[in-house]
Amino acid sequence: MGQACGADRCLRPRIRSRIMGDSRKSNSGGCSGLIFIAIAIGGVFFWEHLKPEAPTNQQVTSSPTSVSLPASPATAPAPETSPPPTPIQPQPDTASLNTFVHPVHDNYGMITLADGTSLVNVMVTKVDPAGVTLFYDGGGGTIPFEKFRNNGVPPDIRKIYGFDPVLADAYRKTETELTSANAAQIADAAKVSAQAQADAERLVKEKEAFIAGLEQVGFDSSIVKSVSVRNNWVTIVVSNVFHVMSYQTRLQTAQDFEKIWSAVHTETNDDPAAVRITDYNGNEVGGSGLMGIWVKNR
């Protein structure tokens, strides 16, 4: 028993170690199986959720339905119609009408007008779109094309010089406008000239009236040497006698000048009269100012 027990004790650790070894092996095998299963499941999940999706039939067939189709002819609005454009009538180039005016030197033995008048020894000197300028035995002048015969009997002046009624009317209209404009300019120039002449005559009369007024109050050539008038200004050149007067005497003299000139000028003018007093060299020594009449204070 003692040996048997001893043997039994000896065998127990071996048996235990073998059992533990087998259990370790079985555990390691089980772990490897679990890892393999987990990898397989992860691969399936990855393929199902991350793989590119193929277009389905619904996607393929739904795209054409998103395209809008044109409206049927029954529901489409009728196109707007506009009236046909009015044809533009050709207009003569009035700027180039003068190119049809040119001198000529054509001689004709006789030309018969539409009223039966015969012109003998005719010489045409100028042609324009409206007619011809000519000289003949006993007279001359400009004759419109309409006064010449149009029966084809030579010389057919209308045909020879290319009569065009449209150009003729345009040329006459232009000439009339130019004549009216020139007449207006001449009239305006005449008005300006007449006004200038009237102003010049008025200034002469005002100057004469001012000098007469100076003489009436006792100012002679000993004080006033010359007078000139321009618009509403009178310029008085005084002698040296004026400069040696006292300030108060010179001021009163300047005031008298202003009174006389104002009475003369404002009689026919609305603008205020103004006085300028100078010495022989044109130096201003008194006159009208913002504060009234002034004189130089020595």
Which pLDDT does position 3 carry in this prediction?
Answer: 46
Which pLDDT does position 194 carry in this prediction?
Answer: 92
In whole angstroms, what is the distance from residue 222 CA to residue 215 CA? 11
Q: Do 225 and 285 contact (CB within 8 A), yes or no?
A: no
197-295 CATH, one of 3.40.630.10, 2.120.10.10, 2.40.50.140, 3.30.70.1770: 3.30.70.1770
Residue type, 26: S
Which pLDDT does position 93 carry in this prediction?
Answer: 54
In whole angstroms, what is the distance from residue 94 CA to residue 11 CA? 143
Q: Do 193 and 208 contact (CB within 8 A), yes or no?
A: no
Which pLDDT does position 85 carry in this prediction?
Answer: 57
In whole angstroms, what is the distance from residue 147 CA to residue 91 CA? 25
Q: pLDDT tens digit string along 29-50?
A: 555 556 667 676 666 555 555 5
pTM of the model: 0.45
Among candidate residues 78, 139, 86, 128, the one with its CA nearest the CA of residue 104: 128
- Give me the residue spans of the domains in the chain: 97-163, 197-295
Among candidate residues 201, 221, 216, 226, the one with its CA nearest the CA of residue 276: 226
Which pLDDT does position 267 carry in this prediction?
Answer: 74
Q: Do 143 and 127 contact (CB within 8 A), yes or no?
A: no
In whole angstroms, what is the distance from residue 161 CA to residue 146 CA? 12
In whole angstroms, what is the distance from residue 130 CA to residue 170 CA? 9
Which pLDDT does position 30 carry in this prediction?
Answer: 52
At 111 the three-state DSSP class reads strand
CB < 8 Å & 24+ apart, contacts of 219-227? 219/253, 219/256, 223/253, 225/280
Q: Do 127 and 101 contact (CB within 8 A), yes or no?
A: yes
Q: Do 288 and 258 contact (CB within 8 A), yes or no?
A: yes
Residue 157 CB partners (closer than 8 Å, separation 6+): 111, 132, 145, 148, 149, 163
Q: Do 207 and 215 contact (CB within 8 A), yes or no?
A: no
Kindly give the parts of the chain with pLDDT less than 70.
1-36, 38, 40-100
Within 10 angstroms of residue 283's Cβ, the number of other Cβ atoms is 9
